[in-house]
Amino acid sequence: MEERGVAVQCALDGTIQSVIKDDDVLSGKFQAGSHIRDFVDSYSHEKFDRFIDELQSQQVAFNWEINVTISEMPVALHFAGAKLGVGYLIMAAHSSSGLSDLNNELTRINNEQVNLIRSLAKERSMVSGERALPHITKFEEFTSLNNEMANMHRELARKNSELVQINNQKNRLLGMVAHDLRNPLGVILTYSEFLENEAASVLNKEQRQFVTTIKDMSEFMLNMVSDLLDVAAIESGELKLIPEPTDLVSLVQRNVALNQVLAAKKGISITFESPVAHRRVTLDPGKIDQVLNNLISNAVKFSHHGTQVLVTLQWSPTMVTVTVGDQGQGIPPTDLAKLFQPFSTASVRGTDGEQSTGLGLAIVRKIIEGHGGHISVESKVGVGSKFTFAIPSENTVGAFHAT
């Protein structure tokens, strides 16, 4: 997927002086004279201010993930920047690799411009003699500015290289720890399930409650370990999609049926609506099943007893859209901006006290984006939430390169 990015030069007060590059990252909203902070989601202003503080103190900042508002929805972009003598150069892209690509492209453009001006100044000097002095002076000023920007690009590249090494070490450690924990947790869960089902008659009420607590906690920890392994794989770019033609309608129906068991315990009904009985889409069935299970189980988890969860499929000539809506507690606006960020949890809790790892929706977003799609959420406190994802209906995906 081609990376898109935006680069602007700002005054020290954040006013945009010029738009160096804009590949429609913010739908062309960046304009000279506007303030860059105005495009940041209101709930991310504090984080953006810390980004600017780092620019002030360290002269450079790289790979800050900050939410901006696009089409009235918060979208996470990766920011980098450097402090120049007259202000800031700030870049943003959809991924850290996109930032690196954008940095390399700006360096190439600057070098080409300097070479062109150098050539023109030389020609002018040969033709005009002393009269070329003002132009040469301008060239020297431009060269000085370009050297300053080149130094900034080198510093950004150095910072990025350091971050990549640290991130890789973190991912390896995370993967090793999670992998070593998964097997013993699986054993604890299996034994506790056996005790709960087979030994209940010889246990008193308090002992049965202990066994149930052990089972629930080990299941929660096993799910967290699995999520941590997924996050580590995504961060290292090792999570692969294995696409194949799949009956998406049947895939959704099967996931709905599996979650009906959980829903029945709370008196919640799950309804599935699709305009067609069968339809094949090229996707990774295991990963999309993971997405569906996360969204549907979350809808049940945060819904009130006796309500309904509605799952719908819609088709267009180019996209297939899946929506999971509930009649639950809803999500406060302050939580929406961070909902798809790793380790972020909403302030609301499951209606039966169910816990959340804070990783599921971040994984969901990466899987959907890996399919060339997008995910969004609409929510109103006290009314419910609606999660919608769309992927190309004629999808062809390969290796998943997460960032």
- 159 and 14 in a single domain? The answer is yes
In whole angstroms, what is the distance from residue 233 CA to residue 236 CA? 5
* 8 Å CB contact between 322 and 292: yes
* pLDDT per residue as tens digits for the range 194-243: 888 888 788 888 888 888 888 878 877 777 777 667 776 666 666 678 88
Residue 39 has pLDDT above 80, yes or no: yes
Query: How confident is the model at residue 344, as a pLDDT?
Result: 65
**How big is the CA angle at 165 (ends 170 and 100), to the nearest 5 degrees?**
120
- 308 and 381 in a single domain? The answer is yes
Percent of the chain with pLDDT over 90: 14
- 56 and 155 in a single domain? The answer is yes
* 8 Å CB contact between 55 and 66: no
Asked whether residue 82 is domain-assigned, the answer is yes
| C-alpha dihedral sign at 64, 67, 68, 70 | positive
Q: Which residues contact 119 (CB under 8 A, 6 or more apart)?
A: none
Query: How confident is the model at residue 322, as a pLDDT?
Result: 95
**3-state SS class at 77:** strand
* 8 Å CB contact between 103 and 156: yes
Question: Bigger pLDDT: 379 or 173?
Answer: 379
Number of domains in the chain: 3
Given 165, 198, 217, the domain boundary residue is 165
Asked whether residue 402 is domain-assigned, the answer is no
Query: How confident is the model at residue 1, as a pLDDT?
Result: 42
* 8 Å CB contact between 259 and 300: yes
Query: How confident is the model at residue 3, as a pLDDT?
Result: 54
- 117 and 252 in a single domain? The answer is no
Given 188, 204, 235, the domain boundary residue is 235
- 299 and 258 in a single domain? The answer is yes
- 199 and 138 in a single domain? The answer is no
Domain that holds residue 46: 5-165
* Inter-CA distances, 186 with 13, 177, 178, 189, 221, Å: 55, 15, 12, 5, 9
Query: How confident is the model at residue 325, as a pLDDT?
Result: 94
Mean pLDDT along residues 255-283: 90
Q: Which residues contact 111 (CB under 8 A, 6 or more apart)?
A: 146, 150
Task: Give residue for tokens 């999520």.
Answer: 227
Q: Which two tokens stand for residue 26?
A: 């913010």
- 227 and 261 in a single domain? The answer is no
Q: Which residues contact 324 (CB under 8 A, 6 or more apart)?
A: 292, 295, 296, 299, 309, 310, 311, 386, 387, 388
* 8 Å CB contact between 295 and 367: no
Query: How confident is the model at residue 133, as a pLDDT?
Result: 47
* pLDDT per residue as tens digits for the range 130-161: 444 454 454 455 555 556 666 666 666 677 66
**3-state SS class at 36:** helix
* pLDDT per residue as tens digits for the range 277-299: 888 899 999 889 989 998 999 89
CATH of the domain at 135: 3.30.450.20
Asked whether residue 300 is domain-assigned, the answer is yes
**DSSP assignment, residue 59?**
S
Beta bridge partners of 19: 8
Asked whether residue 399 is domain-assigned, the answer is no
- 324 and 370 in a single domain? The answer is yes
Classify residue 373 by burial, with Cβ atoms within 10 Å: 0-12, 13-18, 19+.
buried
Query: How confident is the model at residue 175, as a pLDDT?
Result: 65
- 111 and 151 in a single domain? The answer is yes
Long-range contacts of 139-146 (CB under 8 A, 24+ apart): 142/113, 142/114, 142/117, 143/114, 143/117, 143/118, 145/84, 146/110, 146/111, 146/113, 146/114
In whole angstroms, what is the distance from residue 338 CA to residue 321 CA? 23
Query: How confident is the model at residue 256, as a pLDDT?
Result: 93
- 75 and 161 in a single domain? The answer is yes
CATH of the domain at 332: 3.30.565.10
pTM over 0.85? The answer is no
In whole angstroms, what is the distance from residue 376 CA to residue 73 CA? 8
In whole angstroms, what is the distance from residue 190 CA to residue 215 CA? 8
Residue 33 has pLDDT above 80, yes or no: yes
In whole angstroms, what is the distance from residue 376 CA to residue 331 CA? 13
Query: How confident is the model at residue 103, as a pLDDT?
Result: 74
- 375 and 339 in a single domain? The answer is yes
* pLDDT per residue as tens digits for the range 68-117: 877 666 677 888 888 876 788 888 888 777 777 777 777 666 665 555 55
